[in-house]
Structure 1
Amino acid sequence: MRLVVISAGVSDPSSTRLLADRTAQKTLDLLGESGTAASVGVIELGPLAVDIARAIVSGFPGERLQEAIARLAAADAVIASTPVYKAGISGLFKSFVDVLDNDLLIAKPVILAATAGTARHAMVVDEQLRPLFAFLRALPVPTSLFAAPEDWGSPALGDRIERAATEMVLTLRSGVGRSIADSAWTGYQHQFSGNATRSERSASDVDFSTDLMRLAAGGLG
């Protein structure tokens, strides 16, 4: 199994990255206990900020950003972690999502996480991140993660991390995400020329017998 962490934290050290790392490690531990080999990679958005901005303006991701997107496309599961600014998710995180192909994360299990300076922003994960990943047709696990400064010393945060990681592992081991993508893929309205590997098609996949294709070929009277 290949896990990929997306971290939009920009401070050093970053509480956003710390929350993602703790979650990734717990997920790796649980996968290991179940006899499933796994690895984790990290996509730090801070160093890619200029590349992301250029891709939004030009419509084309540069080499470094394309490499990060390819790693995300190849992941079996994702841990998405963002800081909260001005009562909302990081603009850097949202901008990164804006350059992703709409097909990239279809049926891919995701743990949603956020950090903030106050507990008053605790609902940002479910009010903003969850709808965003629903649009991308990913599979966010039921338990979302949030950490304010006072949460780091609380056993409750560790309990939530373990619960989210358990949900992730059970989802991965069930294979439901892969089954959904394999079985229902042709039912989606795909955006082509994107980064989703499953959207790759050739001329042999085109149905030339439709009225529209016959008309384009000059075959209709």
Structure 2
Amino acid sequence: MNERWLEELLRINDEEIKLSEKQAKILEAAIGIFSQKGYAATSTSEIAKKAGVAEGTIFRHYKTKKDLLLAIVTPTLTKVVAPFLTKDFVKKVFENEYGSYEEFVYALMENRYEFVKKHLPIIKIFLQELAFHDEIKSQIQVIFTENVLEKFKRIVEHFQENGEIADVPSGTVIRMTMTTVIGFLLARFMIMTDADWDDHKEMNATIYLLMNGLAAK
């Protein structure tokens, strides 16, 4: 990681956030330790030591360790959110036209695969802390509803009208698609990391199984 990488991740609503050298070091150190040990098991003194700054410097930038966590996690909400919620992502994936639902799901999976591959340490932090911080969960619900849900529903309903996928509630199709994509990413990057992966072959097989489950009878 480096300062440029952090600034890219910390760009909220396309507004550039400038980091001081010490702030970049603090965030980089926190991301590294949080992703390895988890938030609760990490002390600010450990972060300060790894960053090469005095512990008091952390609290000049972030009032509490929780504020430091949210400084890392909040931008992630606008970039990935498990994993559907970035404006750039919505533009690239949800605002295109597709010849089939299968083609849409492949674009969705491939886009998030590349993102997770690039930003794995912070994705780990996000997933580790999701269950323990209500403010993170509530932000997910708001961002998903405002940025993704209606666009996702329109795509699903379009291919239902064409007879390509089953006539079941669109929310059911969305949930099944999301859990399939997220399950692949979790297995690939966090659970079965030592497996002999042929990533694109596995993506194609995963989507094939999803489509057979959704195919209209």
* TM-score of the two chains, using structure 2 as the length reference: 0.28
Q: Which has the higher helix share?
A: 2
Query: Which structure would you say has the larger RCO, counting Cα contacts within 8 Å and 6 or more residues apart?
Result: 1
* TM-score of the two chains, using structure 1 as the length reference: 0.28
